[in-house]
Amino acid sequence: MPIETKVQNRQTAQNFAYAVICLALAIWGWYDFAVRYPAQDALHNEYQTVKSKREELRKVDPALLTAEQRVALEAADTAFARFSEVPSPRSAFDYQIQIWVYMVGCGVGVPWFLFTQIGLMRRKYRLDDDGTLHAPEGTFASEQIVGLDLSKWMSKAIATVEVEGGTRIKMDDYKFRFTEDIVGVLAQRFYPGEWTSDARPIGDPKSRDTKKAAAEGADGGSSSDANGGRDHDHDGDGDGGGDGGGDGD
């Protein structure tokens, strides 16, 4: 039965999660740039206007204030009392951060991770029953596959299939499901007796082959114990009959 890879579920979840995070940060940056920061600057400008007007009116002798100036001073005092603290303006640097780091940087991250996911979904590897390997690099018959580099397999889950003509096909088990099955078949071909069907060293307790052998051994041991008691009784009867016949002779 042909073995065909699919994108790992964790890889798909990771790409979509990063895309959502980037989108949220980009929206956050836009909100700060277009709404929150301008509101803070407007509040700072209002404070400065009220403060200047109030100080200007308070410089005048209260006895010399006109009715209109008295009304203006009371309004300025009321407006000034609304500020429990001095509002700070946003710097030009703050606006630049929101533009380039969040709106542009994180905004670009959204299509980046989505296109990465699409690219992974388009990359497929298939190993047919006759040993033919189908990969993005091309289709290669069994006899065209001349080697398998497993130097990074156990540490980084990356195997490299070597094809005649110098073509090297990198297969990443972290990104693609069932890669270990394809690698396992090729590993058993190029390194017989060293690797399991799921591309783990022979005897590796995490290998499904090792687990299956252990389970079969346990089942076989239980059956042997059960049959052993019955066989012992049967042998005892048989031996007894034989011995009796011998003595009679």
Q: What is the pLDDT of residues 211-223, one digit of tens each?
A: 999 999 887 666 5
State the total domains in the chain.
Answer: 2
Q: Are residues 37 and 135 in the same domain?
A: no
Whole-number pLDDT of residue 239: 46
Instruction: Report how far residue 121's alpha carbon sits from residue 135's, in angstroms, rounded to the nearest whole number.
Output: 13
Asked whether the predicted pLDDT for residue 16 surpasses 50, the reply is yes
Confidence of residue 245 (pLDDT cuts 50, 70, 90): very low
Q: How much is the average pLDDT of 138-160?
A: 98
Q: Are residues 187 and 152 in the same domain?
A: yes
Asked whether the predicted pLDDT for residue 176 surpasses 70, the reply is yes
Beta strands 3-4 and 126-127, pairing class: antiparallel
Is residue 129 within 8 A of residue 1, CB to CB? The reply is: yes
* Start-end of H helices in 61-158: 67-81, 92-97, 107-122, 153-156
Residue with tokens 């540490």: 155
User: Is 1 a domain residue?
Assistant: no
Q: How far does CA 24 lie from the centroid of its chain?
A: 18
Q: pTM of the predicted model, to two decimals?
A: 0.75
Asked whether the predicted pLDDT for residue 82 surpasses 50, the reply is yes
User: Is 164 a domain residue?
Assistant: yes
Q: Are residues 113 and 143 in the same domain?
A: no
Q: How much is the average pLDDT of 137-150?
A: 98
User: Is 240 a domain residue?
Assistant: no
Asked whether the predicted pLDDT for residue 241 surpasses 90, the reply is no
Asked whether the predicted pLDDT for residue 228 surpasses 60, the reply is no
User: Is 4 a domain residue?
Assistant: no
User: Is 45 a domain residue?
Assistant: yes
Asked whether the predicted pLDDT for residue 15 surpasses 70, the reply is yes
How high is the mean pLDDT of the chain?
90
Q: Are residues 173 and 217 in the same domain?
A: yes
Is residue 171 within 8 A of residue 160, CB to CB? The reply is: yes
User: Is 228 a domain residue?
Assistant: no
Whole-number pLDDT of residue 217: 85
Structural domain for 217, as ranges: 123-222
Q: What six digits make up the tokens of 87?
A: 């509002």
User: Is 234 a domain residue?
Assistant: no
Whole-number pLDDT of residue 226: 52
Whole-number pLDDT of residue 30: 98
Whole-number pLDDT of residue 219: 75
Q: Are residues 25 and 36 in the same domain?
A: yes
Whole-number pLDDT of residue 156: 97
Whole-number pLDDT of residue 116: 97
Q: Are residues 138 and 93 in the same domain?
A: no
Asked whether the predicted pLDDT for residue 237 surpasses 60, the reply is no
Q: Are residues 181 and 92 in the same domain?
A: no
Q: Of 122, 150, 182, which closes a domain?
A: 122
Residue with tokens 């980037």: 22
User: Is 68 a domain residue?
Assistant: yes
Provide φ and ψ at 159, rounded to 5°: -120, 150
Whole-number pLDDT of residue 104: 97
Nearest to 120 by CA among 219, 227, 19, 6: 6
Q: Are residues 97 and 152 in the same domain?
A: no
Output Rg (C-alpha) for the chain, integer angstroms.
39
Is residue 179 within 8 A of residue 159, CB to CB? The reply is: yes
Which has more pLDDT, 152 or 58? 152
Asked whether the predicted pLDDT for residue 183 surpasses 70, the reply is yes
